[in-house]
Amino acid sequence: MVNLTGDDMRRFRGSDEKNPFEAMSERFDRAAKLLDLEEDLYAVMRVPSRELKVYIPVKMDSGHIEVFEGYRVQHNFARGPAKGGIRYAPDVSLDEVKALAAWMTWKCAVVNVPFGGAKGGIICDPRQMSIGELERLTRRYTSELIDFIGPEKDVPAPDMNTGEQTMAWIMDTYSMHARHTVTAVVTGKPIALGGSLGRREATGRGVLFVVNEAIKRFDLTPEQTTVAVQGSGNVGGIGAELMWEAGYKVVAISDINSGIHNPDGLNIPHVLEYLNQNKSLEGYPGVKQISNKDLLEIDCDVLAPCATENQITSENAGRIKCKILAEGANGPTTPKADKILHEKGVFVIPDILANAGGVTVSYFEWVQDRMGYFWSEDEVNVRLQDKMVASFNELCHYADKHNVDTRTAAYMLAIDRVAYDTRMRGIYA
Annotated active-site positions, please? 119
Locate the DSSP E strands across 208-353: 226-230, 249-254, 259-261, 288-290, 302-305, 324-326, 347-349
Write down the least CB distance from residue 271 to ligand NAD, Å: 12
Of 244-263, which residues contact ligand NAD (CB under 6 A)?
A: 255-256
CA 239, chain centre distance (Å): 13
What are the beta bridge partners of residue 82?
116, 154
Stretch that binds ligand NAD, among 57-65, 148-156, 233-241, 318-326 (CB under 6 A): 233-241
Write down the least CB distance from residue 26 to ligand NAD, Å: 19
Binding residue (CB under 6 A) for ligand NAD from 49, 76, 105, 161: 161
110 binds ligand NAD (CB under 6 A): no
At position 33, the amino acid (one-letter code) is: K
Q: What are phi and psi of 260, to 5 degrees?
A: -135, 150
Locate the DSSP E strands across 101-162: 116-123, 154-158
Q: Which residues contact 197 (CB under 8 A, 6 or more apart)?
A: 191, 374, 375, 376, 377, 380
**Distance separating alpha carbons of residues 420 and 87, to the nearest angstrom:** 31
234 binds ligand NAD (CB under 6 A): yes
Residue number, nearest CB to ligand NAD: 233
Q: Smaller CB distance to ligand NAD: residue 48 or 305?
A: 305
Stretch that binds ligand NAD, among 20-28, 40-48, 54-62, 159-167 (CB under 6 A): 159-167
Q: Which residues contact 35 (CB under 8 A, 6 or more apart)?
A: 412, 415, 416, 419
306 binds ligand NAD (CB under 6 A): yes
Write down the least CB distance from residue 10 to ligand NAD, Å: 28
Question: Do residues 158 and 164 make contact, with C-beta atoms less than 8 angstroms apart?
Answer: yes
Q: Smaller CB distance to ligand NAD: residue 160 or 211?
A: 160
> β-strands 65-76, 249-254: how paired?
unpaired
Write down the least CB distance from residue 56 to ligand NAD, Å: 20
Stretch that binds ligand NAD, among 123-131, 220-228, 326-334, 339-347 (CB under 6 A): 326-334
Write down the least CB distance from residue 295 to ligand NAD, Å: 9
Q: Which residues bind ligand NAD (CB under 6 A)?
A: 158-161, 203, 231-236, 255-256, 292, 306-308, 328-330, 355, 358
